[in-house]
């Protein structure tokens, strides 16, 4: 055995230990990353799943014309100013006849959401003959009641309900006068101060309008820019400068784009604050580099032979590009655009700058109505002190992630499906 | 006429111009014996007409809409009697919004001074006139453009070249949007910053140790300058970014190395996309996670071992930010590591080095410049990250290096200064732009430098 | 059939008649001449350094080496020749298990280094590669200083305890590689800054710094100019005094100049192996003759 072999042999054990250690670090690192992912998702689903359901309490409601102060349910004005809280109060008093004293009565009345009144009004509008009738109805519970009912035995001790309220609710629960239903308001309302009446529809519409504006602006401009840079641009300082700009813009913090929007689009051009149009423009400027870069890659992937073939038939450069290169590169461009849109959909910071953080109850009807977007809604709710908003924020996150996953899957599928083998 | 309707009209007229152009070129071609006797296809003649009809009108429309409001505003304000003339920026805004509210009917006219009401009427009238004039101008421009194009159609006309040239110019304009955006960013933060530095000396801002803009509302406090010392923000930003990098760099790097050099194909196809999911999660979600789960957890942990941890500790924000950056670091590192030629690996393995020795002693040093570039990019990410710190880091500008205390960052302050009610001119809002300038310059320098390193690195192995 | 095959061949521009003829001849040759079941010549020696029997190599389902058996004697230079893609590199890489780095590659057969089974699961590759070093086709110095390049092997293997020992190893290796005089003043300059020929000699120095018993060289001169090639050839001859060397080459002259014995590979099979002189002057097999007379390859 040679000297070398002997010496090498002596080091082997140590070296293999180092090898194992190194590998373990690698596995550990991946483990950390994956664990973070799992933790993040379980945390959010754990917090948010309950928000997809809400509790209702059952009460016999008498549509008493006098209490309601409604004589003709067909008169919209009267209908709107009706005292629905009154009939709910009466129903509660009837259900719990032993409750006395102002404080307790108030506490009792707090069990039902203020939103229940609107439900009664809508019912009456639908069916005017209800006036004077008594019906046993399921009414939306207050968010504290909702939390209490959803909580485990142990968590119930920390409930914000006072002891009497807890007793009443427990009584309702025991006698089957509470039930859990799918939280429809989550998908049919805008924001609200009351968690049980708050929904994400307003934010979803806001996001939708913002995304439409972004897509309509960024895709054509991005594709045109990519075509210019790949096919027409002469190699000179100016083109280099454009390229440097694109690469740098892709790495500029998003909040800076918010400052740009605030100072230029709102300050200089005088567009209104808080509207999806401005949000869309800002996000366009932000996603444009992504779209340009991916579109250029798609154009580059079109083999020169196709260009030469078309050129050989006497097509002009522009015809070659528009008739041959663009259709072939389009799938790749679309994938890039979808990924850019997914980025824009999750973006929050620049939209805070341009005032899309306002508390907006009404559903926006177009890109010029004040609105908020899904991520901003999450931010607002996460910041709210009431505990129920935390669950709502998680639920909104789940919806947002669902959108993002769909978009990214779409991009992947599109890429797979349309992938061309030259 | 409303802008929407006007646009619709424009579309109709452009379509008209297109068809007229098409018809005319066919009509010209017929006596010559078919369209092959025309210089270009009829399509190009039609497109040319449409462009002549649309482009001048669109340019005028754009300029008009961009500037008519400010011109009208100026006119209206100029018409006010001397005693109502606004003296400074805030009274300017106040007067203006009063007039606008009256004009839009939100404020009854009898609630305000008579000249204001008159101004509101003036505003309404001017707006109407402007809209009318715009409509007329647009229609006339369309007609003239279309007619001009129609007149010029002849068999020899190089219509295709003209159309293509216009299209190419349009493409180029789209490409320059990137430059315009950069210029816009620079100008907007620069201008406001200069105004800010007119009120607060640059040195106070850059070297001051005290940051309390919320209390610096009174003029004398602004002048005192102590309230706008940004050092605590710089320190806070660095602290949180450092924690983030401390998490992300080793984890991201080792993941990338493991996936590139050790993992079996099966592991790679699962683990790689899974890690990339982390990159697709919106930052607001990380912020939520940091503020509502990680921060309380760390605080609880600290309490259980007798440590006093702030509820908005830098550690929580930094940790979560680190998680966010892991995929960023690992994908950059992956690019860089796989760019090291196989020959390097073979050389080392052929000498009897183990895999980890090869990685540590050959691949890593070879990839170092690229990895440094990647880390620099990641750092610039961390510095500019907003939502995580807005939600999980504090507002208190503590000057500390203790990760268990609350610190604030540049981005957090920009958001707090600019959200909520604000006057556009106060030192408070201007300070946000000054911070934005700092942020922009820092990240820009880091990015340019990093991209340069990475590019040089790539070229080395191309 | 015949024409179709010709069309499939990538034509490299000038399609003169001579070339066409050569191609036809070659096609005829490869079709008519049966593969040898048995290697002709004398592939075996007494008391070999490496004893290789029935070696088969597969890339996934693709067999690249078909039952090759040969010996490599002590302090002998063996050259492996053959047309491109015939499996020379693949075979060479089996000898220090560099094929392990390719996931889809499987090796079968008996491969022994002085009685030690190379593919014994208990055998340590690190140790093996320290004994059987390899020099590659393209010079691949690490992006480190010249000194660190040469010191790399001794360092990882713990061959030198003191700086002084290491310096000595580096100097000796560089001297043996004939590079010392050219680089002694800039040992700490980057190895990638050398010329191609110098780089390749650096790689050889790097390999012999570990004092391997066998050195494998895969076309070590193919990226070099004639002068650099001459230097390396000289070096190989010198090295053969203390090392066993297996070298893959495309240059018949080179094989003739540096090697004691020559093996001719064809489509994954060992066709003929014999003393270099015999192979080049009196080839037994038609395929070998066709190759060395330049009719194809
Ligand atoms: N990594 C690999 N994966 C799959 N097949 C391979 C691989 N490497 C080589 N092969 C195949 O194995 C066969 C032999 O290849 P090898 O590289 O050994 O030939 P060679 O004789 O060294 O040729 P050259 O003279 O061109 O270097 C070829 O058919 C080749 O396609
Ligand atoms: Mg080879």
Cβ contact, residue pair A23, B414, below 8 Å: no
By the CB < 8 Å criterion, does C249 face chain B?
Answer: no
Half-sphere exposure of B218 (CA within 13 A, CB side): 4
Question: If you average pLDDT over each of A208-222, B307-321, C182-196, which comes out highest?
Answer: A208-222
Size of interface A-B (CB pairs under 8 A): 263
Neighbours of ion ligand 2 (CB under 5 A): C 89
Q: Which domains does chain A have, with CATH numbers?
A: 55-183 (no CATH), 201-418 (1.10.3720.10)
Question: CB-CB: which of B344, B349, B365 is closest to C129?
Answer: B349
Using a CB–CB cutoff of 8 Å, tell me whether B37 touches chain C: no
Which domains does chain B carry?
A: 3-157 (no CATH), 227-458 (1.10.3720.10)
Q: Do B29 and B35 meet the contact criterion of CB atoms below 8 Å apart?
A: yes
The length of chain C is 297
Specify the pLDDT at position C21: 52
What pLDDT was estimated at residue C125? Answer: 87
Contact state of A36 with B262 under an 8 Å Cβ cutoff: no
**Number of A:C CB contacts under 8 A?**
32
Q: What is the pLDDT of residue C52?
A: 92
Q: DSSP for B108-142, please give it.
A: -GGGS-HHHHHHHHHHHHHHHHHHHHHHHHHHHHH
Q: Which residue in C has a C-alpha nearest to residue A1's C-alpha?
A: C114
Taking 50 as the threshold, does the pLDDT of residue C30 lie above it? no
Contact B271, B263 (CB under 8 A): yes
Ligand nearest to the CA of C57: 1
- Cβ atoms of residues C224 and C196 within 8 Å: yes
Tell me, yes or no, if A216 comes closer than 8 A to chain B by beta carbon: no
| Cβ(C28) – ligand 1 distance below 6 Å | no
The minimum-distance atom of ligand 1 relative to the CA of C60 is 4
Q: Are strands C244-248 and C105-113 parallel, antiparallel or unpaired?
A: unpaired
Ligand 2 centroid from CA C149, angstroms: 24
Q: Which residues pair with C135 in a beta bridge?
A: C217
Q: Report the mean per-residue pLDDT for chain B.
A: 86
Which residue's CA is minimally distant from atom 14 of ligand 1? C87
Measure the CA–CA gap between C179 and B368, rounded to whole angstroms: 28
- The per-residue pLDDT for C1 is 36
Beta carbons within 8 Å of C48's beta carbon, 6+ residues apart: C71, C72, C73, C74
Kindly report, residue by residue over B289-318, the tens digit of the pLDDT. 999 999 999 999 999 998 888 888 999 999
Using a CB-CB distance cutoff of 8 angstroms, which residues of chain B are in contact with residue A401?
281, 285
Q: For residues B388-401, give the mean pLDDT.
A: 88
What distance in Å separates residue C36's CA from the closest CA in chain A? 38
* pLDDT tens-digit map of A336-376: 999 999 999 999 999 999 988 888 888 888 888 889 999 99
Measured from the CB, is residue C89 less than 6 Å from ligand 1? yes
Cβ C59 under 6 angstroms from ligand 1:
yes
Structure token digits, residue A257: 């784009």
Residue B340 Cα to ligand 1 midpoint, Å, equals 22
**What DSSP string runs through B373-393?**
HHHHHHHHHHHH--HHHHHHS
Token output for B137? 């101008």
The pLDDT of residue B454? 84
CB pair distance less than 8 Å for C126 and B365? no
Given pLDDT bands bounded at 50, 70 and 90, which one contains residue B153? Answer: confident
Question: β-strand A53-62 against A134-140: which pairing, if any?
Answer: antiparallel
A134 min Cα distance to partner chain B (Å): 43
Q: The complex's ipTM? A: 0.90
A residues 107-146 near B, CB within 8 Å?
none
Q: How far apart are CA B281 and CA B321, in angstroms?
A: 12
Return d(Cα B143, Cα A70) in angstroms, integer: 61
| Alpha helices, H only, C33-71 | none
Residue B462 pLDDT > 70? no
Quick one: pLDDT at residue C2?
Answer: 38
Percent of chain B predicted with pLDDT > 70: 95
Q: Is C83 in the pocket of ligand 1 (CB under 6 A)?
A: no
Q: Which residues lie closer than 8 Å to A69 by C-beta, 6 or more apart?
A: A78, A81, A82, A83
Residue of C68, C79, C84, C88 to mutate, ligand 1, most atoms within 8 A of C-beta: C88
How do residues A288-339 score in pLDDT, each as one tens digit?
A: 999 999 999 999 988 888 888 888 887 888 888 988 899 889 888 999 999 9
Length of chain A: 422
Query: Cα dist. C111→B92, C61, C104 in Å?
Result: 92, 21, 19
Q: For residue C82, give the ligand 1 atom closest to its CA.
A: 21
pLDDT tens-digit profile of B206-251?
988 888 876 545 554 444 444 888 999 999 999 999 999 999 999 9
Considering only residues C32 and A65, tell me which one the structure prediction assigns the higher pLDDT: A65
Q: Does the beta carbon of C99 sit less than 6 angstroms from any atom of ligand 1?
A: no
Q: How confident is the model at residue C187 (pLDDT cuts 50, 70, 90)?
A: very high
Q: Mean of the pLDDT values across residues C74-90? A: 92
Q: Which atom of ligand 1 is nearest to the CA of C250?
A: 25
Q: Which chains have 3 or more CB–CB distances shorter than 8 Å to chain C?
A: A, B
Residue ranges of C 148-177 with Cβ closer than 8 A to chain B = 152-153, 156-157
Residue B128, C-beta contacts closer than 8 angstroms, at least 6 positions apart: none
The mean pLDDT value of chain A amounts to 87
Category of C42 on φ-ψ map: left (φ > 0), alpha (ψ -120 to 50) or beta: beta
Residue A232 touches chain B, beta carbons under 8 Å: yes
pLDDT digits 0-9 by tens, A377-413: 999 999 888 888 998 999 999 999 999 999 999 888 8
Mean pLDDT computed over B121-126: 86
C263 close to ligand 1 (CB < 6 Angstrom): no
């Amino acid at each position: 055995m040679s000297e070398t072999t002997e010496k090498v042999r002596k080091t082997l054990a140590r070296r293999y230990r180092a090898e194992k250690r190194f590998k373990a670090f690698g596995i550990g690192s991946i483990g950390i990353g994956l664990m973070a992912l799992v933790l993040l998702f379980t945390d959010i689903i754990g917090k948010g799943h309950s928000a997809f359901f809400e509790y209702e309490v059952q009460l016999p409601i008498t549509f008493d014309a006098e209490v309601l102060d409604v004589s003709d349910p067909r008169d919209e004005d009267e209908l709107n100013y009706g005292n629905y809280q009154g009939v709910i109060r009466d129903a509660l008093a009837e259900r719990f006849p032993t409750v006395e004293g102002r404080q307790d009565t108030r506490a009792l009345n707090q069990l039902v959401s203020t939103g229940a009144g609107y439900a009664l009004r809508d019912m009456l509008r639908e069916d005017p003959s209800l006036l004077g009738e008594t019906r046993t109805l399921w009414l939306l519970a207050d968010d504290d009641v909702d939390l209490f009912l959803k909580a485990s035995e142990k968590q119930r001790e920390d409930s914000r309900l006072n002891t009497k309220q807890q007793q009443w609710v427990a009584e309702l629960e025991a006698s089957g006068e509470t039930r859990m239903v799918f939280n429809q308001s989550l998908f049919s309302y805008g924001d609200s101060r009351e968690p049980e009446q708050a929904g994400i529809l307003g934010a979803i519409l806001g996001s939708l309008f913002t995304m439409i504006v972004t897509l309509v602006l960024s895709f054509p401009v991005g594709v045109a820019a990519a075509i210019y840079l790949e096919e027409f641009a002469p190699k000179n300082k100016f083109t280099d400068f454009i390229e440097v700009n694109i690469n740098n813009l892709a790495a500029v913090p998003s909040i800076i784009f918010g400052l740009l929007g605030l100072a230029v689009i709102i300050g200089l051009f005088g567009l209104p604050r808080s509207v999806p149009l401005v949000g869309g423009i800002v996000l366009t400027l932000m996603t444009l580099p992504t779209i340009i870069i991916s579109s250029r890659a798609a154009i580059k992937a079109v083999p020169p032979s196709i260009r030469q073939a078309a050129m050989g038939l006497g097509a002009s450069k522009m015809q070659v590009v528009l008739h041959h290169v663009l259709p072939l590169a389009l799938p790749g461009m679309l994938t890039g655009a979808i990924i850019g849109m997914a980025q824009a959909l999750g973006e929050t910071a620049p939209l805070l700058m341009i005032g899309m953080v306002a508390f907006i109850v009404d559903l926006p009807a177009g890109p010029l109505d004040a609105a908020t977007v899904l991520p901003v809604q999450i931010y607002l709710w996460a910041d709210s002190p009431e505990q129920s908003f935390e669950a709502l924020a998680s639920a909104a996150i789940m919806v947002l992630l669902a959108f993002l996953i769909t978009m990214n899957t779409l991009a992947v599928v599109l890429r797979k499906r349309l992938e061309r083998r030259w | 006429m409303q802008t929407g309707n006007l646009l619709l009209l424009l579309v109709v007229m452009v379509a008209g111009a297109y068809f007229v152009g098409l018809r005319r070129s066919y009509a010209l071609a017929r006596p010559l014996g078919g369209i092959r006797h025309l210089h270009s296809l009829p399509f190009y003649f039609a497109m040319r007409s449409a462009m002549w009809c649309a482009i001048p009108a669109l340019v005028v429309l754009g300029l008009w809409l961009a500037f008519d409001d400010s011109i009208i505003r100026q006119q209206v304000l100029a018409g006010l009697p001397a005693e109502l003339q606004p003296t400074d920026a805030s009274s300017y805004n106040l007067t203006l919004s009063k007039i606008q509210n009256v004009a839009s009917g939100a404020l009854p006219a009898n609630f305000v001074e008579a000249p204001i009401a008159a101004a509101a009427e003036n505003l309404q009238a001017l707006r109407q006139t402007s809209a009318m004039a715009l409509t007329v101008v647009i229609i006339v421009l369309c007609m003239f453009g279309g007619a001009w194009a129609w007149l010029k159609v002849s068999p020899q006309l190089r219509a295709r070249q003209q159309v293509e040239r216009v299209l190419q110019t349009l493409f180029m304009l789209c490409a320059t949007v990137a430059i315009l955006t950069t210029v816009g960013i620079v100008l907007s933060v620069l201008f406001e910053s200069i105004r800010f530095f007119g009120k607060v000396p640059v040195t106070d801002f850059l070297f001051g140790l005290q940051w309390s803009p919320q209390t610096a509302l009174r003029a004398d406090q602004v002048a005192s300058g102590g309230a706008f010392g940004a050092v605590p923000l710089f320190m806070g930003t660095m602290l949180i970014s450092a924690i983030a990098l401390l998490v992300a760099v080793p984890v991201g790097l080792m993941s990338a190395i493991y996936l590139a050099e050790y993992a079996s194909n099966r592991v790679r196809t699962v683990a790689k996309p899974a890690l990339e999911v982390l990159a697709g999660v919106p930052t607001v979600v990380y912020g939520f996670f940091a503020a509502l789960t990680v921060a309380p957890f760390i605080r609880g942990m600290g309490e259980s071992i007798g440590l006093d941890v702030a509820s908005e500790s830098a550690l929580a924000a930094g940790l979560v930010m680190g998680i966010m950056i892991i995929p960023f670091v690992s994908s950059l590192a992956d690019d860089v590591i796989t760019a090291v030629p196989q020959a390097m690996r073979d050389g080392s393995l052929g000498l009897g080095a183990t895999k980890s020795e090869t990685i540590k002693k050959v691949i890593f040093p070879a990839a170092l410049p690229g990895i440094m570039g990647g880390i620099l990019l990641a750092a610039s990410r961390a510095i500019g990250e907003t939502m995580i710190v807005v939600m999980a880091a504090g507002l208190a500008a503590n000057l500390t290096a203790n990760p268990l205390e609350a610190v604030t960052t540049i981005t957090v302050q920009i958001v707090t200064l600019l959200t909520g009610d604000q006057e556009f001119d106060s030192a408070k809002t201007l300070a946000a732009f000054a911070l934005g300038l700092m942020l922009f310059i820092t990240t820009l320098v880091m990015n340019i430098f990093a991209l340069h390193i990475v590019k040089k690195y790539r070229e080395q192995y191309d | 059939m015949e024409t179709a095959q010709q069309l499939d061949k990538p034509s490299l521009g000038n399609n003169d008649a001579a070339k066409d003829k050569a191609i036809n001849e070659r096609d005829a040759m490869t079709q008519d001449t049966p593969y040898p079941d048995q290697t002709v010549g004398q592939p075996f020696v007494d008391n070999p350094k490496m004893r290789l029997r029935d070696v088969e190599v597969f890339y996934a389902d693709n067999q690249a080496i078909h039952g090759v058996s040969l010996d490599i004697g002590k302090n002998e230079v063996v050259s492996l020749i053959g047309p491109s893609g015939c499996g020379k590199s693949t075979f060479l890489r089996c000898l220090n298990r560099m094929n392990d780095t390719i996931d889809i590659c499987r090796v079968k057969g008996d491969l022994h280094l002085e009685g030690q089974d190379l593919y014994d699961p208990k055998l340590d590759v690190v140790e093996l590669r320290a004994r059987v070093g390899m020099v590659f086709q393209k010079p691949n110095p690490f992006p480190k200083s010249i000194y660190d390049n040469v010191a790399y092997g001794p360092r990882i293997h713990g061959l030198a305890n003191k700086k002084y020992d290491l310096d000595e190893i580096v100097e000796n290796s560089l001297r043996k590689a004939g590079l010392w005089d050219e680089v002694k003043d800039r040992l700490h300059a980057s190895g990638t800054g050398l010329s191609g020929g110098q780089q390749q000699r650096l790689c050889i120095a790097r390999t012999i710094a570990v004092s391997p018993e066998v050195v494998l060289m895969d076309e070590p001169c193919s990226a070099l100019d004639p002068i650099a090639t001459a230097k390396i050839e000289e070096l190989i001859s010198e090295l053969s005094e203390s090392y066993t060397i297996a070298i893959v080459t495309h240059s018949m002259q080179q094989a003739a100049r540096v090697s004691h014995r020559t093996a001719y590979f064809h489509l994954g099979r060992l066709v003929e192996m014999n003393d270099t002189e015999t192979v080049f002057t009196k080839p037994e097999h038609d395929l070998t003759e066709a190759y060395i007379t330049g009719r194809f390859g």
